[in-house]
Amino acid sequence: MLFYALKRLLYVLPVAFGVSVVCFLLVHITPGDPLTAIMPIDASAEQQAAMRAAYGFDKPLPVQYVIWLGKVLIGDLGNSIASGRPVLSEVMRAVSNTLILAFVATLIGFFFGCLFGFVAGYFRNSPLDRLASMLSVLGVSVPHYWLGMVLVIIFSVQLNWLPATGAGPGGSGDWKPDWEHFRYLILPAITMSVIPMGVVARTIRALVADILSQDFVSALAAKGLADGGVFRHVVKNAAPTALAVMGLQLGYLLGGSILIETVFSWPGTGFLLNAAIFQRDLPLLQGTILVLAMFFVLLNLLVDVLQTAFDPRIQRS
């Protein structure tokens, strides 16, 4: 098990290197000069040259990458062009809020997705199967930003039950584990959970139907094993795939929450990316994408290791 984990870790290193190269090149492949946002309109050639030298843009591209990578390895992602604050502090604050939102949304989506998937798989071609399958298809098909606006209109504007925007009272950007702050989490978490719920439900439904058709299930039933015992064996065989799907969905939610966070003004990485794009704050955009990509890579590594713990056949293969 330890050898397998170390081998997977070695596979991560070239992926992380590739991610760093892509994130570094974002500054250079984007149209326009990234320093135009902070330079005066009437800046002289000397002022422009001094600004480029201050940000290291006067050096050859490979030299810039080596210098940038060396700073990244010690936790220096540079400073935001718009605010002047360190990028790392801005990103980590936003990442913590996004992690909270994505984790809660994943739990909701995984729970209901597994529930609908197991029901549909066990009762194939029944009204329950059709209902669960319809809900899963709706979950994948409905635009989540549209669903978020509908939920805001119903539960915030008309019923006035839940707050519509922000992470806390008074527009607070720091979420705290109490009921007052939790109310701000409910609507965006439900909105974000719809897509993973649909994906997990469809995957589990197909997986359970396939497992129930295998010979070992018929053999267990023929030996007199109770339905609960058969169910435990089905869950054990479906767990590795379900875990992989959940891990991937959590990774997608970390990087794909920009529309939902914008709708609910949730101060996470999606909201930060949206602001960085409109402000042309390329260091902030670069640092945010790098941190999210590294989270996704490490999450895939964790899922691979956990899958092996659930199913040793993966390691032997």
Q: Count other Cβ atoms within 10 Å, centred on residue 182.
A: 14
Better-scored residue on pLDDT, 223 or 317: 223
pLDDT tens by residue, 53-75: 776 777 788 888 888 888 888 88
Token pair listed for 278: 């409109």
What is the percentage of the chain residues whose pLDDT exceeds 90? 0
Angle formed at CA 71 by CA 68 and CA 72, multiple of 5 degrees: 85
Q: How far apart are CA 231 and CA 249, in angstroms?
A: 25
Which helix H or strand E contains 26, and what residues bound it? helix 2-29
Helix-helix angle 269-279:282-310, to 10 degrees:
150
Domain residues of the chain, as ranges?
Answer: 87-141+193-316
pLDDT tens by residue, 227-254: 667 777 777 777 777 777 777 777 777 7
55 burial via Cβ count (<10 Å: 0-12, 13-18, 19+): middle
How large is the average pLDDT for residues 82-102? 83
The long-range contacts involving 162-170, CB below 8 angstroms and separated by at least 24 positions, are 162/186, 162/187, 163/187, 164/264, 165/264, 165/265, 165/266, 166/264, 166/265, 166/266, 166/267, 167/97, 167/266, 167/267
Q: How far apart are CA 109 and CA 23, in angstroms?
A: 30
pLDDT tens by residue, 127-138: 888 888 888 888
R_g (Cα) of the chain, nearest Å: 24
Q: Is 213 helix (H, G, I), strand (E, B) or coil?
A: coil
Token pair listed for 179: 């009921």
Question: DSSP labels for 49-117?
Answer: HHHHHHTTTTS-HHHHHHHHHHHHHTT---B-TTT-SBHHHHHHHHHHHHHHHHHHHHHHHHHHHHHHH
pLDDT tens by residue, 160-193: 888 888 777 766 666 677 777 788 888 988 988 8
- Closest by CA position to 190, among listed 107, 127, 119, 265: 107
Question: 87-141+193-316: which CATH number, 1.10.3720.10, 3.30.70.270, 2.60.40.420, 1.20.1740.10?
Answer: 1.10.3720.10
pLDDT tens by residue, 249-259: 777 777 667 77
Residue 99 pLDDT exceeds 80? yes
Mean pLDDT of the chain: 79
Q: How far apart are CA 298 and CA 295, in angstroms?
A: 5
Q: What is the pLDDT of residue 34?
A: 63
Which of 14-28, 74-88, 166-180 is the least confident region?
166-180
Question: DSSP labels for 145-199?
Answer: HHHHHHHIIIIIIIS--S--SSSSGGG-SS--SSHHHHHHHHHHHHHHHHHHHHH
- Closest by CA position to 63, among listed 28, 18, 15: 28
